[in-house]
Amino acid sequence: MSISTNSQASSKLDELGREAASCQAYPLWKGATQTVFGERPPNADVMFVGEQPGDREDREGRPFIGPARLLLDKALIEARVDRKRVYVTNAVKHFKFEPRGKRRLHKRPNASEIKICRRWLFEEIEAISPRLIVALGATAAQGLVGKVIPVQSNRGSVLTAESGLRVFVTIHPSALLRLQGEEAKRSGYASFVNDLRSIERLLDYSPDETKSVLPCPALNP
Ligand code: URA
C-alpha cells in the first residue's frame, strides 16, 4: 500500500470512527459507555475480528485490551505473525452485558445485533482492504459470512465468499481462558498457535487453500 493510500485509509477510518461513535442503530448503545471501533495500523494486511468489546474495552474505548489480548499477542509472536501488520476489531461495536450487582457480565450478541453491526465491519474492511481476515470465534464468523458457521469444523481453513472476501476461521482466545485444567489449557493454546501459523502462508494466496465458496450476502449487509 502506498503512502497516499495509507493516509486515505487512515482518514477514512477516522471518519468512520466518528460516525460510529454516535451509532444508535440498536439498543445496545444505551447500556454501553461508548462505541469501540477497530485499532490501526491502516496499512494492515491482516484483520482480526473478535466478538464484541468487554467490560474494560467498553470503559477505555479500545478493542482487545484485556486478558484475551495478552493471549492473542503471545500466540501471534509464537506463530510469527507481525503484530504491526494486524488490524484488530470486533463484529459488534458495543458491549452487551447483564448487570449482576456491581459487575457487568458479558452476554453474547444475538443474530440481529451482529447483522446491524455488519455495516461498520464492512466499512472497515473496505477502508483497509486486508489480504486476509481472521474470524476469532462464531460471532465474528457470522458477522463476516452472514450466516452461522460452526467454528470447530471450519477452524484452520479459509472460507472464500463469492466476492473474494477470504475469511480464515479460528477460535476466540477467550475460549482458551475458560478451559479447565493444565493439559486442556496447554493443548488448546498449542492448537490456536498452530492455526495462526497458517497466516503467513495464506498471505501468499493459493486458491487451493480455499475450503468452500460461500454466497456473500455479507458484502450487501
Ligand atoms: N473479546 C473480544 O472479542 N473483543 C474485545 O475487544 C475484547 C474481548
Q: Is 101 helix (H, G, I), strand (E, B) or coil?
A: coil
Query: Domain boundaries in the chain?
Result: 3-219
Q: What is the number of helices (H) and of strands (E) in the chain?
A: 9, 8
Question: How many angstroms is it from 53 CA to the middle of ligand 1?
Answer: 5
In CATH, the number for domain 3-219 is 3.40.470.10
Question: How many angstroms is it from 207 CA to the middle of ligand 1?
Answer: 30
**Separation CA 39–CA 82 (nearest Å):** 15
In 3D space, the residue among 62, 60, 83 whose CA is nearest the CA of residue 72 turns out to be 83
What does the pLDDT read at residue 205? 60
**Separation CA 127–CA 9 (nearest Å):** 5
Q: What is the CB neighbour count within 10 angstroms for residue 25?
A: 14
90 CB near ligand 1 (under 6 Å): yes
User: Which atom of ligand 1 lies closest to the CA of 88?
Assistant: 6
The helix (run of H) or strand (run of E) holding residue 126 is helix 111-128
Q: Which residues of 133-170 are buried (b: 16+ CB within 10 A; e: fewer)?
A: bbbbbbbbbbbbbbeebebeebbbbbbbbeeebbbbbb
50 CB near ligand 1 (under 6 Å): yes
Question: How many angstroms is it from 52 CA to the middle of ligand 1?
Answer: 5
The helix (run of H) or strand (run of E) holding residue 152 is helix 151-154
Question: How many angstroms is it from 32 CA to the middle of ligand 1?
Answer: 14
Q: In terms of residues, how long is the chain?
A: 221
In 3D space, the residue among 28, 168, 38, 42 whose CA is nearest the CA of residue 110 turns out to be 28
**Separation CA 135–CA 89 (nearest Å):** 10
Predicted confidence pLDDT, tens digits, the chain (221 residues): 555 568 888 999 999 999 999 999 999 999 999 999 999 887 899 999 999 999 999 999 999 999 999 999 999 999 999 989 999 999 999 999 999 999 999 999 999 999 999 999 999 999 999 999 999 999 999 999 988 999 999 999 999 866 678 899 999 999 999 999 999 999 999 999 999 999 988 987 655 555 554 444 443 33
Q: In testing the pocket of ligand 1, which one of 64, 95, 178 has its CB within 8 Å of the most ligand atoms?
A: 64
57 CB near ligand 1 (under 6 Å): yes
User: Which atom of ligand 1 lies closest to the CA of 174?
Assistant: 1
Which amino acid type is present at position 7? S
Instruction: Record the pTM.
Output: 0.91
